[in-house]
Amino acid sequence: MSWGVMADNLGWGVIEEGWRKGPWTAEEDSLLIEYVKLHGEGRWNSVSRLSGLKRNGKSSRLRWVNYLRPDLKRGQITPHEENIILELHAKWGNRWSTIARSLPGRTDNEVKNYWRTHFKKRANSKSSPDANEKAKVRMLKRQQFQQKQQQQQQYMNQLDMKKFMSLLDESENRVPYLPQAKQDMVTLYPNNTAGEEQDFLYPLFNGYMSLPEAPNHEENILWDGLWNLDDIHGNWSMACAANKAGLHTLATPFC
């Protein structure tokens, strides 16, 4: 069954004044992508005429900007990004698009949603620190789970253990964290040759590779964003086994 048919069957995609509304189907997405390929961004009101899409310009633009643009970054907001959001919101207030411009690959909608769910409540709920704390722990657990799943998927698609180790070898001279990364790997999984703990390897790899060449203050920013990991009582066996320096590198990709 196609998405369009399914959407119709489920009652999605209400038609109002000739325009479809509600969740976009995969077919609509591909029509819009095709339109942008051919005509570029802009002239959104021509989309329906030129592509056959039954969506108005506003809806089309929004879908493209917030979801289909190829340069969008997917996944959790990182602690570093979170810090930028906090900093810029303190500076500019609710100017989401301005804030989003400082976060490549993030949309104003994403930043706005993130702020509302993570910070607004926190600011409002000084009166009930307990509930706040619980919510924080819940969210962290969920984030860890989702991120791990996502990264496992990516990793399984892209790398095997041997390739990972050879990449570390090749990169050691260029990226200063990598010798430590490799050492951690060996400590954590002395006998591993591409088996049981693969789900952990990609995050580890990604964490080292994606860390900026960080001066100390940037490391502090990352740590600030970790939201009192000491409070977490969840299954952090791996992280807790490590010392703080190790935890830093291990935890970064999960945030």
Burial of 208 (0-12, 13-18, 19+ CB in 10 A): buried
Does 145 bind DNA (CB under 7 A)? Our answer is: yes
Residue in 15, 26, 87, 97 binding DNA, rule: CB under 7 A = 97
Taking each helix axis as running N to C, give the angle between helix 198-210 and helix 244-251, from 0 to 180 degrees, rounded to the nearest 10: 100
Write the binding mask 185 to 204 for DNA: x where contact by CB under 7 A, - elsewhere: --------------------
Instruction: Tell me the closest approach of the beta carbon of residue 162 to DNA, in angstroms.
Output: 33
Instruction: Tell me the closest approach of the beta carbon of residue 23 to DNA, in angstroms.
Output: 4
Beta bridge partner(s), residue 20: 15
Instruction: Tell me the closest approach of the beta carbon of residue 109 to DNA, in angstroms.
Output: 5
Cβ neighbors of 118 (< 8 A, separation 6 or more) are 82, 139
**Region near DNA per CB under 7 A, out of 95-103, 194-202, 203-211, 213-221:** 95-103
Does 108 bind DNA (CB under 7 A)? Our answer is: yes
Tally of helices (H runs) and strands (E runs) in the chain: 15, 2
Three-state DSSP at 50 gives helix
State the number of binding residues for DNA (CB under 7 A).
Answer: 44
Does 134 bind DNA (CB under 7 A)? Our answer is: yes
Nearest to 161 by CA among 204, 192, 206: 192
Does 39 bind DNA (CB under 7 A)? Our answer is: no
**Region near DNA per CB under 7 A, out of 36-44, 183-191, 203-211, 235-243:** 36-44
Does 96 bind DNA (CB under 7 A)? Our answer is: yes
Instruction: Tell me the closest approach of the beta carbon of residue 201 to DNA, in angstroms.
Output: 24
Residue in 15, 91, 104, 121 binding DNA, rule: CB under 7 A = 121
Enter the tokens of residue 243: 């010392």
Does 124 bind DNA (CB under 7 A)? Our answer is: no
DSSP string, 76-138: PPPHHHHHHHHHHHHHHSS-HHHHHHTSTT--HHHHHHHHIIIIIHHHHTTT-HHHHHHHHHH
**Interacting residue ranges for DNA, rule: CB under 7 A:** 10, 16, 20-24, 41-46, 57-59, 61-63, 65-67, 94-98, 108-110, 112-114, 116-118, 121, 134-135, 138-139, 141-142, 145
